[in-house]
Structure 1
Amino acid sequence: MRETSATRRGVLAAAGGALLAGCSGLDEFGESSDEEIRSSRLPDLTDDGESQPVVVETMPIEIERTVLAERVQRTTDLLATLPMSFGADDVPNGYVRKQLIEAAEDASEYIQDARTAQSRLTAMRSLQRARSEARFAAAGWGFVEDGTTETARQSEHEAVIEDANALRSDHAYLGEDPVEAVLFHAEVEQHLAFVAENRYPSGSVNTDELLTVAEWGEHTEYARARVDDGRYLYDRFRESLPADAGSIEETLTTAGESLVDELQRRRSDLPAEPTEGDHELVWRLRYRVRDAAESSARYAGDEPGAASTVLRGAEGLADFLAYERIRDRIDDGEQFGVEEAADVHDARDQAVESVRTALDESPRAGLARPVLADAAQQIVAADEELARLRGTVRPARLDDPIRRYVTATARARSVPAACQEVLDTLTQ
């Protein structure tokens, strides 16, 4: 199913990253009531790009502008197949017509996202989505115009799978610097895994044949974009290496296995799940961070390749360290609740500053960025929750955004140590 524009624009933190924009200046905040807090006093930064904790992913090679321009051109070529406007005479079903129009609009918005992206890798990912949205609309219109069938789109998707298999056969774990190799090869692994694991469109089953054909078009185009970009990035990385660069596969495999073993060891030492207590925020906070740590260990060995396993190891170690931080604070009697708006601002400030500091203090920023992206996304999600509040609210209504800020802080502060452990594992 296509991602809606509203949902897409609500997620400002991308995996990886180099850019951080932190807190704005805040005034003194007094409250007229111990029981309620005016929502106007709470942080409302969802429309302020300069105040969003965006973590922008990059790679240590330059993605050529000409390649991005080709992706834009592919999108505009698809959109050019559409009529100037969709009317009832073209597509009588109003719901179906709306889906095609929205897909075309989303494609244009993704192109704009790419043009304003903070890195070319982020731009490339936006253009993958632009292509798939444009193809949804173009494939749907193709059904109207020339009766293109679902079978034809499925056959096209099979050709993409063949190209993915060819890339998989060519993919060799070359490299010199283990961290750079992890980042590049994990990217290729993820592209290939998407195609292999998503043989069919993920949307709900459609009884409308036009929408079925449109979804196959979208699915095929996105898979094609992933294969094209995976091939391009792999070739660029290989070209950047000296001619005598050897395989780093054994290093990555050994490190990945060691990290999985370490996460499993830590999982076995986890205490039992906390039982619900009198203070719901404390219970929920402890439950959620423990569950994140346990899950990271449970699925650590399920990644599509050695490089992705190493990245999962960094994320998992940060999860366990974050759990220990929050557990210790709870054991020391901290309640985490808020009494006034200034407490919310303080919690957010700490979260954003923790992400910034972690990026500066991590031994290799490349390893830190994918992990910090999740912490940044937690902050953005909390911001959006606060922005939806109106009037006056009781402090308990703020428990969920506070939980997100606290979790983001603990996770970000755990990233430098987690990355150091991964780096030691890679270089030992």
Structure 2
Amino acid sequence: MCEHTRRRLLAAMGTATVGSLAGCSVPTFENDPTITGAELASIVSDPPPSIPESLPVTMGANHLAETEAAIREDLDRVPASFDADTIPNGAIRARLTRAREQATAALARTTEAHTPWERAGRLRRARSSVGYVVGGWAAIDGDRSVPDVQADAESLREDLGVFRRKWAYIGTDPTDAVVVHDAIASLIRSCLGNLNRVLSVDPDDATAALTVAETDESLNSAQGALRDAEHLFDRLRRGDAVRNHRATLKSAAATLTERVHTRRQALGLDGESSISDRSDAETPAARALRDIRQDARRSTRLEERRAEEAFPLAIVEAHEELALFGAIETLQARVDAGEAVDPTSADAVRTIRRRALEAIKTAFSEGDHRTLDRLRLYELVGAIEYYDDDLARYDADRQVSLSRLDWELAEYVAVEASARNVNRASAAVAAAITDARV
């Protein structure tokens, strides 16, 4: 998930109120328009456009089949059910029973993936879930302990070091290389994060079954991430006319950094917060504008990625920031023109959401750089699904004040504005890469 999207969703989860949950009392305000839970459910029943997660380089069918077979083999080592004889502790027995059910379900869901890359992601999640069950059972049925898991993690860390030393920004096409190496970098970050979690566990808690389960869960996540990263790199190396694009990507990242800096200055994002940022916005568009400007002002990821010489990640960050800047311009023009209105009915809410979906669909169908477009549009679809889930939690007969939906409606508007500027951002990135080709 891209940084801005992740930050906004995490902020949303941190500020969610109990009133948004089904079955909870949701107070209304005097003279405030309301909408029923049934109307909200109807509004979000129209699914967002399907933009499956995909990469220019395909995950090999044999790799995916072997990964699935290994996960199933691990899960089959654990009893299908537990009783008081196998696990005397009732609390631990209940936890591992639920975990096995969840692992089995996660493995079954891998067949529902629309693309090989999406299937790989589902397999990684299934591997993690199975790791929890297998680790917990190994601690109970055998003698597996936290130090055992940590020893395996140290071995994996050595494998990671070997991979990072040979990893280079190779590929046939430099734009495709950006997307694939960005995915590899995400896998490496995931591997590192999970390894750090494993190695930071107190080894004195060596025999607690659930501690071993949790530690093995993180270890399996790290293993899955590294194996997929290695596989993607190997697929790149086996392509036609493969070359190292480091110089091209370094130059493109420099060009895009300068462009982002120029746009940032033009939008007044390098200074202190403006009055409009601090004011109480009344419409979804004005609230979205304020929030996006705050996101853009806080962003330092592009410079950090360039300093790390992580050029594919810097280019992806520049792509997102350029789309974000375009969204700011779109929303500012809408607010200045008086086109931003506060919804007062279910139809208005439906229109706000529909415009977001249409913007995503149009951007995906009409863009000239689909590989780059997909990067951001896939994230925006995920954002829509998150906000939809939030609105669908209300009981059908519940009367909900529209003011309670301020955040979700602003986010739908932000998604729409971002989607309308993805194609332009992709064109700028593609041009920078083309001009930088050496």
Is 1:82 the counterpart of 2:78 in the alignment?
A: yes
Count of residues paired in the alignment = 393
Aligned: 1:345 with 2:350: yes
Task: Give the SS at the match of 1:37.
Answer: strand
- Alignment partner for residue 324 of structure 2, among 316, 319, 322? 319
1:284 aligns with 2:284: no
**1:300 — aligned with what?**
302
Q: CA deviation at 1:45?
A: 6.7
Kindly state the Cα deviation for residue 202 of structure 1 after the two structures are TM-superposed. 7.8
After superposition, the Cα gap between the structure-2 partners of 1:422 and 1:410, relative to the gap in structure 1 and judged at 3 Å, is same
SS in 2 for 1:87: coil
Describe the superposition over 1:313-359 as per-residue Cα deviations: whole angstroms up to 9, x where unpaired. 11111111112211222222344421111111111111111101111
Say if 1:152 and 1:61 are closer, same or farther in 2 by CA, change over 3 A. Answer: same
More displaced stretch, 94-103 vs 161-170:
94-103
- Among 389, 395, 407, the alignment partner of 1:400 is 407
Provide the residue aligned with 2:101 in structure 1.
105
Query: Identity of paired residues, percent?
Result: 28
Q: Distance in 2 between matches of 1:375 and 1:61?
A: 22
Q: Which residue does 2:374 correspond to in 1? A: 369
Does the CA contact (< 8 Å) of 1:194 and 1:223 recur in 2?
yes
Instruction: Rate the CA distance shift 1:45–1:241 in 2: closer, same or farther, 3 A.
Output: farther
Q: Alpha-carbon deviation of 1:410? A: 0.3
- Aligned-partner Cα distance in 2 for 1:331–1:42: 30
Shift of 1:278: 6.2
Structure 2 partner of 1:425: 432
2:92 maps to 1:96: yes
Residues 43 and 202 of structure 1, relative CA distance in 2, 3 Å threshold? farther
Distance 1:87 1:280, change over 3 A: farther
* C-alpha deviation, 1:251, in angstroms: 0.8
Residue number in structure 2 paired with 1:260: 257
Aligned equivalents of 1:100, 1:233: Cα separation in 2: 33
The Cα shift of 1:412 comes to 0.3
C-alpha change, 1:39 and 1:216, in structure 2 (3 Å) is closer
Of the structure 1 ranges 287-296 and 89-98, higher mean CA displacement relative to structure 2 is found in 89-98
- CA deviation after TM superposition for structure 1 residue 401, in Å: 2.1
Q: Secondary structure at the match of 2:238?
A: helix
C-alpha displacement of 1:293: 1.8
- Superposition pairs of residues 107-256 of structure 1, within 5 angstroms: 107-201=103-197, 209-242=208-241, 245-256=242-253
1: distance between equivalents of 2:149 and 2:340? 56
**Counterpart Cα distance in 2 of 1:407 and 1:395:** 18
CA-atom RMSD, angstroms? 2.6
CA change 1:53–1:336 in 2 (3 A) is: farther
Instruction: Check 1:418–1:353 CA distance in 2 against 1; reply closer, same or farther (3 A cut).
Output: same
- Tell me the distance in 2 between the aligned counterparts of 1:34 and 1:301: 45
Pick aligned residue for 2:418 from 411, 417, 425:
411
- Whichever residue aligns with residue 399 of structure 2, its letter is T
* Unpaired stretches in structure 2, ≥5 consecutive residues: 1-8, 11-30
- Counterpart of 2:52, as a letter, is V
Please give the alpha-carbon distance, in whole angstroms, between the structure 2 residues aligned to 1:196 and 1:393.
44
Deviates more, 1:401-410 or 1:172-181: 172-181
The 8 Å contact of residues 104 and 134 in structure 1, kept in 2 or not, is answered as yes
Contact preservation (8 Å) 1:251, 1:426:
yes
Describe the shift of the 1:291–1:99 C-alpha distance in structure 2 as closer, same or farther (beyond 3 A). Answer: farther
Whole-angstrom distance in 2 between the partners of 1:203 and 1:335: 51
Equivalent residues of 2:128, 2:220 under 8 A apart:
yes
Structure 1 residues 174 and 350: alpha-carbon distance in aligned structure 2, compared to 1, 3 A threshold: same
Structure-2-length-normalised TM-score: 0.82
Question: What is the rounded CA distance, in whole Å, between the counterparts of 1:173 and 1:34 in structure 2?
Answer: 56
